[in-house]
């Protein structure tokens, strides 16, 4: 064997170009892939909490807080899963604030501080925690306040350049643009006119969106980390090789691990200026009214942001119902 590609799996090659993160609450599956970080969300924790192998963890949290209402208990469950994940990954875990606070800056800040306090009460350094907040105007305002106090944020449900630019202006530590959901929307919109060949690979709408954000950040010197998220296939992942981080489901991590095909770096900061000029992109106006107007005028981002918040709210309520039993 004379080439590195033939020896290393795609996952190992990818790790040389990009920080790989596991996107799951199922911490037993994380170990197989040795990611740097891990991310969770209400849907992933709900899924994990329903599995038989995590019943003891759920029961122990409930037993430690008898009589606590389910809404408050959710925080302790999120942190319990986060603590277990931190025993496995060397880096950070992302824990999400209740999606029902997506339009409440004050409530979001208070909830984030509570989650950090719970982690710190277990001796965890706050630098190992990323608090996940929705990419709403109120969520971004909360991130600005939290970052100023040394609480780092992962801005999620991010579907547009204006959201990304505003997160950068707020000094958010990290953003998670959702690749697959952008593609889903475009695929549904085009219907019979969608072609996996013409609209896949480098032409995938979700991939294009993350590349645009990458070029904007690198050209304007924005230090916020970019973590591609919500992938539908390994092609989307490989097209973003070279981005700061990629958070990947166990299923797609397994696919990457089982392939030895060559992986090449696709994103390069040196190309940022030319890419933005080609698209005619200039610095965005980011006061509240301009932010809301630009987001409103992006039908895909508006619809997917609203849908994402709704779904996370539903799954949080399902988790509460599970804990109330």
Q: Which helix (H) or strand (E) holds 199?
A: none
Residues near 90 by beta carbon (within 8 Å), at least 6 away in sequence: 36
Tokens for 318?
């399902």
Contact 168, 138 (CB under 8 A): no
Which tokens belong to 51?
């599995």
Contact between 201 and 239 (Cβ < 8 Å): yes
* 3-state percent breakdown (helix, strand, coil) of the chain, nearest 5: 60, 10, 30
Catalytic residue from among 15, 62, 111, 132: 132
To the query of whether residue 132 is one of the catalytic residues in this protein, the response is: yes
Counting Cβ atoms within 10 Å, is residue 325 exposed (0-12), middle (13-18) or buried (19+)? exposed
Residue 123: count of CB within 10 angstroms of its CB: 7
Q: Which residues are the active-site residues?
A: 132
């Amino acid at each position: 064997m004379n080439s590195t590609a033939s020896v290393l799996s795609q996952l190992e090659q990818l790790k040389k170009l990009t920080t790989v993160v596991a996107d799951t609450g199922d911490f037993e599956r994380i170990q197989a892939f040795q990611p740097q970080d891990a991310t969770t969300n209400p849907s992933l924790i709900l899924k994990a909490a329903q599995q038989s192998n995590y019943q003891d963890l759920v029961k122990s949290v409930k037993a430690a807080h008898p009589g606590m209402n389910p809404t408050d208990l959710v925080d302790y469950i999120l942190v319990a899963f986060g603590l277990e994940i931190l025993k496995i990954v060397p880096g950070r875990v992302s824990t999400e604030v209740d999606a029902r606070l997506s339009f409440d800056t004050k409530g979001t800040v208070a909830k984030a501080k509570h989650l950090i306090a719970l982690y710190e009460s277990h001796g965890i350094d706050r630098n190992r925690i990323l608090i996940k907040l929705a990419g709403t105007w109120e969520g971004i305002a909360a991130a600005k306040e939290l970052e100023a106090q040394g609480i780092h944020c992962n801005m999620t449900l991010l579907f547009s350049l204006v959201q990304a630019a505003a997160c950068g202006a707020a000094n958010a530590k990290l953003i998670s643009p959702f690749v697959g959901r952008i593609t889903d929307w475009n695929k549904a919109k085009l219907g019979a006119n969608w072609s996996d060949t013409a609209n896949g690979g480098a032409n995938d709408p979700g991939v294009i969106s993350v590349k645009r954000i990458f070029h904007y950040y690198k050209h304007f010197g924005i230090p916020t980390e970019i973590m591609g998220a919500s992938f539908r296939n390994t092609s989307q992942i490989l097209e973003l090789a070279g981005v700061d981080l990629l958070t990947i489901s166990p299923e797609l991590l397994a696919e990457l691990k089982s392939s030895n095909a060559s992986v090449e770096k696709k994103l390069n900061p040196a190309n940022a200026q030319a890419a933005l000029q080609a698209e005619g992109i200039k610095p965005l106006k980011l006061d509240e009214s301009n932010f809301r107007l630009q987001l409103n005028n992006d039908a895909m981002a508006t619809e997917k942001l609203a849908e994402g918040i709704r779904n996370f709210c539903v799954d949080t309520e399902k988790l509460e119902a599970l804990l109330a039993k």
